[in-house]
Structure 1
C-alpha cells in the first residue's frame, strides 16, 4: 500500500507514519532572540481526518499544555489514522511570564482571524489560522478559568450542530454547554472556515489539577477515537455517565462588598433560593447572604476572598429537562 502524501506546515513536510516538531516564527525580541510557535505534527500512515488541539491562547492557562503532553504520549504515528496538529502554547510571550495577555495587553482570543500586518496578537492569530486551522477539519481549544476563578470541566460548543454535538458527547466532560460564538475568538474564526470546534474549560489559571487534566486527556482521546483516528478506548461506555446538557448559564453576583465565604462546590446541584454563602466584614460580622437566583449545576466559582458589589461569585448552568 502506498504511503500517504507528506503533510506541509511552515517550511517543512512531515512524512506519513512519522511525528515531527516544527517551529513557526512569530517575532524577534528586542534582545535579538527569536520567538516561535511550537507545533508537533502526528501524521499517520493511513488516511483520516485532520485535527488540531491547542492550549494557552491565554498565557496563564497552563492546564491545557499538560493535557496535550499526556495525550501525545499515548499516540504513535505508525498506528494513527489521519493527522493531528498539536499547538501546546499559542500565546508564547504571555506563557513565559505567566500573563493572560500579550505584552501590549491585547486578548489573543479576541484577535482572530488576524492579519499578517496587524498587531502582535493579530499576527499570531493569522499564523495559527493559516498554518494550522485552515488545514484541519476539527479543533479542540483548551482553556481554564480567568484569574482567581475555577471551572468545572465542561465543553462549550454549538450543540445545535449535529456533528459538533456528537463530538461534544464523545468528549465526555461532566457538562456540555451550548455557547454562543464570541467576536474575534478562535472558535468563531475556525467555524467561519468550516471547522468543527470544541472548547474545553476546566480548572484554574497557573495550576495543574489532576481531575481537569485527566478529563481533558481522556476527552481528547475519545474525540480521536470517535473520528476513527485511534482504536476505541477500552473503558465500558455503558458505565460512563453522559454529559449533562445545559443551554443557559449565568453568574450570581455580589450584592454588597465584603469577605466571601462560599458553601458550595463545583459540580453541585443547587435549587433556586439556596444559600450559597455569605459576606462578612473584617471582624467576621455577617453583612449579607448570597443565594442562588436559579436552579442548576455549579460550573464556576470565584477564588477571590475579597469581593465588591457586582463581582461574579458562582456560575450556575441550567440543565435541559426532558
Structure 2
C-alpha cells in the first residue's frame, strides 16, 4: 500500500478499498462525557475524487440528516472509484437536545472557519475545516428550512461559477437559487478554499418529508454518477423537469399579527396580486388577504399557524434566468 494511496484523517490511515469510522470531539459535557462527531469513510480500490457529504450543522434540521442516513444505509456511499466521506450530524450537541444552536448559544453556521481556542461551536468548526474539509474535492451539504418555514427543494450556489452551475444542474432539484455566501458560514469558508459546494435546502425543522428526502438522495446519486463514482446496482432517474433558476427574490412579511394560513402549495407560480394566504383573528372580526407583490415562484412558505407582524411568511422569486 503506497503512501500516495493512503488517506490520513483524524489519526487514522485508510487505504484504497478500505472503510473506516472515525470521529472527532473537542469538548466534554458537564458530566465529563465526551460527544463524538462520527465520520464515515468508504474508499474504492480505484483512485478518484473525494466527495464529502455533510448534514446537521443545525441540530433541528432532521431532514438533511435523514438524507445522509439513507445514502449510508443504502450503500450509495460506497464508491465505484475514489472516496466518499459522510458526516451525517455535525452539530451532535444540538441534535441530541433537538436544538438548532450549540449549547453555548451560538449558531455553528456563523462561526466558520472557527478557532482552536474559541467558543465550543468555533472549535467544532475549526476541527471540521482543518481535519476533514481539506481532503474533499467536492462537498454536498444538506439543510432544511428554519423554524416553521418550509423550503422547496433547492440547491444554493453563488453566481458566475461554471463548475457549480454544472453540478447544480446535474443534481436536478426543482430550483437553483443563486444566493451570496453568508459571512462566517460553512459555504463561505469552503468557497475561500476553492472547494466547490452544493448546499441543498428542503423541508422544515423537526420534520422528515418523503419527497424532500427523495430529492436529496436522488440528487446525490446523480452527482456521483456524473463523477463516475456511483456503482452499477444503483439507477439514476432524470429530473421531472429542468430546474428553475432564481436570480433574485424577496421575503413577504406579515402586515398583521394573527392566525395565518397559506392557500397555495409550495413551488407554485403566482401572478401579481393573487391571493396566496390570509391572516385572521380568533374572533372572526378580522380577515386580511395576503397578496403576491409580483409574479414569481413561491419557494418557501411559513407553516406556523400563528404569526406576528413582520414575520417572514412567503419567499417569492422576483427575477428568473431568461427573464
Q: Structure 2 length as normaliser, TM-score? A: 0.94
Q: Does the CA-based 8 Å contact 1:106-1:121 persist in structure 2?
A: yes
SS at match of 1:47: coil
Q: Does the CA-based 8 Å contact 1:149-1:302 persist in structure 2?
A: yes
* Map of 2:245 onto structure 1: 245
* Map of 2:293 onto structure 1: 293
Deviation at 1:28, TM superposition (A): 1.1
SS at match of 1:215: helix
SS at match of 1:46: coil
Task: For 1:117 and 1:67, locate their aligned partners in 2 and report how far apart those are by CA, in whole Å.
Answer: 32
* Map of 1:14 onto structure 2: 14
Task: For 1:4 and 1:242, locate their aligned partners in 2 and report how far apart those are by CA, in whole Å.
Answer: 40
Task: For 1:79 and 1:299, locate their aligned partners in 2 and report how far apart those are by CA, in whole Å.
Answer: 33
Alignment of 1:268-307 (within 5 A): 268-307=268-307
1:321 aligns with 2:319: no
1:222 aligns with 2:236: no
Deviation at 1:231, TM superposition (A): 4.7
Deviation at 1:6, TM superposition (A): 2.0
Compare 23-32 and 173-182 and name the one that shifted more. Answer: 23-32
Deviation at 1:129, TM superposition (A): 0.5
* Map of 1:212 onto structure 2: 212
Corresponding pairs, count: 321
Q: Does the CA-based 8 Å contact 2:221-2:236 persist in structure 1?
A: no
Compare 128-137 and 78-87 and name the one that shifted more. Answer: 78-87
Alignment of 1:135-154 (within 5 A): 135-154=135-154
Compare 210-219 and 64-73 and name the one that shifted more. Answer: 64-73
* Map of 2:105 onto structure 1: 105
Alignment of 1:56-205 (within 5 A): 56-75=56-75, 80-205=80-205
Give the alignment's Cα RMSD to 1 decimal: 1.9
Superposed CA deviations along residues 165-208 of structure 1, whole A, max 9, x for unmatched, are 11100111000111101001000000101100111000111111
Deviation at 1:78, TM superposition (A): 7.1
Task: For 1:287 and 1:241, locate their aligned partners in 2 and report how far apart those are by CA, in whole Å.
Answer: 37
SS at match of 1:65: helix
Task: For 1:287 and 1:43, locate their aligned partners in 2 and report how far apart those are by CA, in whole Å.
Answer: 59
Stretches of structure 2 lacking an aligned partner (at least 5 in a row): none
* Map of 1:256 onto structure 2: 256
Q: Does the CA-based 8 Å contact 1:4-1:16 persist in structure 2?
A: no
Compare 118-127 and 13-22 and name the one that shifted more. Answer: 13-22
Task: For 1:80 and 1:113, locate their aligned partners in 2 and report how far apart those are by CA, in whole Å.
Answer: 31
Deviation at 1:285, TM superposition (A): 2.9
Compare 252-261 and 228-237 and name the one that shifted more. Answer: 228-237
